[in-house]
Amino acid sequence: MKRISTHRLISLGVLGLALYFLVAGGEYSILEARRADAELAARRAEISAMRQEIDSLGHRIEALRNDDELLERVARERYGFIRDGEFLYRITEPELPADSTQSDGPSILRWLRGRDSQDPTY
């Protein structure tokens, strides 16, 4: 059996440490390079999505500038604009009191839901 010389053993140790640091150690490791590549791909996907959104918003702006019917529809639906002589009716859900279990009298909500339909006073 041959004896491994000290010089050869030290060389193998240094080579092993160099391989370890190449794969897992430091800021220039292969693992760090893969993480950076994954982050770069994610940022590129974000940029692509933002560019699509910008393009979509640009088309929307152009449509609103050039299409009076679309502009009127957006103004009516989103901002509640009306023409002279028109009336705007807003139908909303009634708000429940903070403590809806304690009621001083009959509740229109209970009546509408039919919970108190047996009571002739409603």
Residue ranges per structural domain of the chain: 6-93
SS3 (DSSP) at 41: helix
pLDDT at 122: 42
Q: What is the H or E stretch that residue 111 is in? A: helix 108-113
CA–CA gap between residue 109 and residue 122 (Å, rounded): 12
* Band of pLDDT at residue 116, cut at 50, 70 and 90: very low
**What tens digit of pLDDT does each residue of 62-76 get?**
999 999 999 999 988
Q: Is the predicted pLDDT of residue 3 greater than 60, yes or no?
A: yes
Query: Taking the model in full, what pTM does it have?
Result: 0.47
SS3 (DSSP) at 94: coil
Name every residue whose Cβ is closer than 8 Å to that of residue 88 and which is 6 or more positions away in sequence: 80, 82
**What tens digit of pLDDT does each residue of 4-39 get?**
788 888 888 888 888 777 777 766 777 888 889 999
